[in-house]
Amino acid sequence: MQLNYIHDFTLNTKQDFLAVQQKLKRLIHLSNAIDTDSLQTCAGVDLAYWEENGESFGVCSIIVLDVHTKKVVEKVHHFGNINVPYVAGFLAFRELPLIVEAAKKLTIEPDVFLFDGNGYLHPHHLGIATHASFFLNKPTIGIAKTYLKIKNHDFKMPDNQIGAYTDIVIEGEVYGRTLRTRQDVKPIFLSCGNFIDLESSYQITMTLINQESRLPIPVRLADLETHALRKYYRD
């Protein structure tokens, strides 16, 4: 898969990170509707980390699914050292090197990528799903398992029925949705990544939910794969 290299990975200070985010924020497009009937493939992306002998390591897994059959058609991963320090609000800079290397191994170009993490639901609107979209040049969606509180704003719990949601509106702007994908199960936190609108993100996400998890199938499979790969590389 061909990627766009919009910046290098030698950045390691908060000032550098913020400058990149401010530049990319102006290039976000959340107005592109996607017809779910036209989708053929989608990918789930997740990462896992661990420490060993004073060093940080990580692995990124990408699972590509046939949207219609819900069968896995490709899976790739990349394992390596983590050299970028963790700075709150700038996690994407830590994760992107692994994501990019894994995505380069794809022989199938997914129509949309779903990330285990946030997208527009981020203090600077540059969660991993949004930031990665500029490298992938594909529509992206953020699927977070826990809520990232922004500007001290709490979310409103949706009704206890499948498909119910409440929009997360902060200072008059919609950042994402609190979405109930399974009855009697905790909600997930949906946000656009880039090159897609919120309603399309919602419809795609709901299309990919089954009875096994509150997470969309490709995200759940990528999550399981990263845990297995972490165990493999640590052992």
| Interval 118-158: pLDDT, tens | 999 999 999 999 999 999 999 999 999 999 999 999 999 99
Judged against a pLDDT cut of 90, whether residue 32 lies above it is answered with no
**Listing from the earlier edge strand, what are the strands of the sheet with 72-81?**
72-81, 55-66, 41-52, 112-116, 140-144, 188-194, 173-179, 165-170
- Residue 78 CB partners (closer than 8 Å, separation 6+): 59, 60, 98, 99, 101, 102, 105
Residues 122/147, Cβ–Cβ less than 8 Å: no
| Domain edges within the chain | 40-234
* pLDDT at res. 220: 98
Q: For residue 116, say whether it is annotated as part of any ligand binding site.
A: yes
CATH fold of 40-234: archaeoglobus fulgidus dsm 4304 fold (3.30.2170)
Q: Is 111 annotated as a binding residue?
A: no
Quote the tokens at residue 101.
Answer: 């290397």
- Report the chain's terminal Cα–Cα distance, integer Å: 30
